[in-house]
Amino acid sequence: DVKVTQSSRYLVKRTGEKVFLECVQDMDHENMFWYRQDPGLGLRLIYFSYDVKMKEKGDIPEGYSVSREKKERFSLILESASTNQTSMYLCASSRLVKNTGELFFGEGSRLTVL
Amino acid sequence: AQKVTQAQTEISVVEKEDVTLDCVYETRDTTYYLFWYKQPPSGELVFLIRRNSFDEQNEISGRYSWNFQKSTSSFNFTITASQVVDSAVYFCALSERNNDMRFGAGTRLTVKP
């Protein structure tokens, strides 16, 4: 069974803290993505990566960075968390070039910034 | 820029009713892909269907069916004889060849027993 695993389901952090969200996939996919999901806004793309050590900005990259040192792992970093980054974060991977194929999602990480 | 609109924010039906979830998209590309995903209360989005722009044939999978109409830029999803387990948030999404996947805002479907 294909699997995308996100390290934490629920996190509570304080304003200004550095936050790491980890994502691992076991499908040998080249493509990995980070989205955030907010009510009424659907899913918005933060960053994505089509290869190891490669990253590209999505629609809302401000306040975030990413790291992809290994093919199976894609990390999202909030350098200094703010309350407006309270959200559900979803990691996904795909096999086909860019986004032409289906995405496989993790269960999500719900982050609350106080 | 590509765009996906799901005008229905929430829909509530009684079990065994049929329900249609609307999806309207905008794109300038002639080659694109449309998707539907289901997000149950557990949170993990699950892929339901992928359709490319050259294939307008409607699809049926059990109680699920999809109606793709390029003339109206719509890709609607119908659940026949709905069940409580169909309660979820459903997302329509669009990707173009050189652009990343864009999602609609989602439609929350509640099926009451």
- Express each pLDDT in B57-108 by its tens digit: 888 889 999 999 999 999 999 999 999 999 999 999 998 876 678 899 999 9
> How many inter-chain contacts (A to B, CB under 8 Å) are there?
58
- Selecting from A40, A104, A106 the residue whose C-beta is nearest the C-beta of B105 gives A40
Share of chain A above pLDDT 90, in %: 75
Residues of B with CB under 8 A from a CB of A: 4, 6, 9, 33, 35, 37, 42-47, 50, 91, 93, 95, 97-106
DSSP assignment, residue A97?
S
Share of chain B above pLDDT 70, in %: 96
- Give the strand pairing for B64-69 and B19-21: unpaired
Mean pLDDT, rounded, for B13-24:
97
Q: So what's the pLDDT on residue B98?
A: 67
pLDDT higher than 80, residue A56: yes
At residue B43 the predicted structure's pLDDT band, cuts being 50, 70 and 90, is confident
How high does pLDDT run on average in chain A? 92
DSSP assignment, residue A9?
S
CA B89/CA B94 separation, integer angstroms:
17
At residue A99 the predicted structure's pLDDT band, cuts being 50, 70 and 90, is low
Distance (Å) of CA A68 to CA A48, A99, B26, B50: 10, 18, 32, 28
E strand map for chain A:
4-6, 10-13, 19-21, 23-25, 31-38, 42-49, 56-57, 65-70, 73-78, 87-94, 104-105, 109-113
Count other C-beta atoms under 10 Å from residue A114's C-beta.
10
State how far residue A82 is from chain B, nearest Cα, in angstroms: 23
Length of chain B: 113
B44–A107 C-beta distance less than 8 A: yes
Mean pLDDT, rounded, for A8-23:
96
